[in-house]
Amino acid sequence: MNWKPEMSSELPIYRQIYEYYEGQIRSGVLLSGTRLPTERELARLLSVNRSTVTTAYDELRSSGLIESRQGSGTRVSGYLWETKPVSHPYWHRSIRRKVFDMSESLRHLIHESLPEGNVIHMIRGELSPDLMPQEMLEHASQCLSFDVPFSYFSDWRGDAQLRETLSHFLAERMNIRANPGNILITNGVKHALSLIARTLLQPGDAIAVEGPSYLYSMQVFAEEGLRMVKLEVDEEGLIPEQLPMLYQQFGVRMVFTNPTYQNPTGISLSIERRQKLLKICKQLNIPIVEDDPYSLLHLEEEDKPLPSIQSLDENGQHVIYISTLSKFATPGMRIGYVAAPLQVIDKLAQTKNRTGYSSSHMGEQLAQRFLTDEAFDAHLNKVRRELARRRERMLQAIQREAGDYIELVAPHAPAGGYYLWLRLKEETAADFTEKTWIEQAIRHGITFYPGSVFGEGGGKLRLTYASLSMEEIERGIHRLGGLLKEMYGR
């Protein structure tokens, strides 16, 4: 350890120690789970009294940056899930601050490799170019209308014709009854989540989020000063019975769930748990945000997706339903939507207008024509067939090339969506951190997201088969197998 406190500084030594470790943790130099020296060891290294180190560690613990457990010592805290109420004034919630993102350094490392042409990226949450409906969109673009000016003074909820189309689309395909007035067009799911966080919640509010979750990595909630409380999941999805305890302990204000082909696990919440979750939330008067981008992408003909939570809500007042066209079309269209009670839509539309996040008039027209194109069902069926083929190819390649080292976390392969959620069968050396893992992966010519990006440790990783060709899947898994063999020295 090269750093030493400045004995001549006016800043107390314990505070210098606190700020040093805070900087190391927030910058990603010290990753989640990293073991810190004992108080006695650090006092000796810095030539200070042990009581000084004790005070500094107490401050770090109260800030949630480190945690101490019997038998495992003091370590950098495990991700951003809240595990205890804040016991001191949280003044910096009232001002804009740098978002504390434990996995930012890992994502930055991965994204720096994106321009490298020899790297196979198993991270992209989008369709491969050959599965995007390019011809349909080109045809739709030739039919765009320019009769109405693309003015600032348009309906904040979005294009009326598109909302009418989405109303019919949701009724026919999802059994969701939403009038056009109950629908808001957004620039995708992240925009929808940002509007909800900014409009319906306050800084300091606790929200329940299933974990692991892609929402952990998006930082939408942290940006608004919200606390994410982890809802544990098993092979049937989140466990609703946890919610009353979390509500009592943290005052949970809202539940966010991605119940169908969840990202990253691929698990679908069982029908019994959907009903149970809805019942508990009604009893506690907590709204549910149902994030549903993948339910149309079921990969087995006989395995239709379960009813949405919103469709199970008889009075239609407890669930905010959000989705996007990106997962079966193209992200570049930038079209998502919210279906919710009228008073909620009105408030979200006002925030959308105030923040300047208006949706593209041309994009809205393009989306409307895409959804009503007579070739839509043929396109959707093609996407399903190809995703099923690529999922099977990836599973076969994993078994052949890396089956000795990794396995699916869930008992069965996902029945839909984009992703495989995997874990190492054996622990690696203690000094083999996730950062080392990713650095070695890039050296082998691949990228993937490790578990910490989704708020989960334990040697887990997420691979996508949606954005890769068959050849890329084969080459990528072959390289992954080589990396794992090197990791284990075999």
151 falls in which pLDDT band (50, 70, 90)?
Answer: low
**Mean pLDDT score, 104-128:** 87
Q: What is the pLDDT of residues 84-115, one digit of tens each?
A: 444 455 444 444 445 556 677 788 888 888 88
Distance (Å, rounded) from C-alpha 196 to C-alpha 347?
9
Q: Mean pLDDT check: name the lowest of 193-202, 347-356, 413-422.
A: 347-356
Of 61 and 319, more confident: 319
CA–CA dist 182, 168 (Å, integer): 12
Residue whose C-alpha is closest to residue 363's, from 338, 340, 329: 329
Give the pLDDT score at 82.
Answer: 57
Report residue 224's pLDDT band, with 50, 70 and 90 as the boundaries: confident
pLDDT at 369 over 70: yes
Average pLDDT value over all residues in the chain = 88
Tokens coding 52:
């000084």
Kindly indicate the confidence band of residue 150, based on its pLDDT and cuts at 50, 70 and 90: low
- Give the C-alpha separation, 64 to 67, whole Å: 7
Q: By the 8 A CB rule, do 41 and 86 touch?
A: no
Chain segment 9-49, per-residue pLDDT in tens: 888 899 999 999 988 887 778 887 788 999 999 999 999 99
Task: Please state the rounded mean pLDDT for residues 448-460.
Answer: 89
* More confident: 325 or 83: 325
pLDDT at 483: 95
What percent of the chain is modeled with pLDDT above 70? 92
Q: Cβ neighbours of residue 321 under 8 Å, at least 6 residues apart? A: 170, 176, 178, 290, 292, 308, 309, 310, 338, 339, 340
> Could you tell me which of 297, 263, 258, 300 has the C-alpha nearest to residue 173?
297
Mean pLDDT value of segment 202-228: 88
pLDDT in tens, 284-312: 999 999 999 999 999 987 677 799 999 99
280: pLDDT strictly greater than 70: yes
Q: What domains can you pick out in the chain, each with its CATH number?
A: 13-94 (1.10.10.10), 104-131+378-487 (3.90.1150.10), 152-374 (3.40.640.10)
Mean pLDDT of 381-406: 96
**pLDDT tens, position by position, 252-267:** 999 999 999 999 999 9
The mean per-residue pLDDT over the stretch 433-455 comes to 91
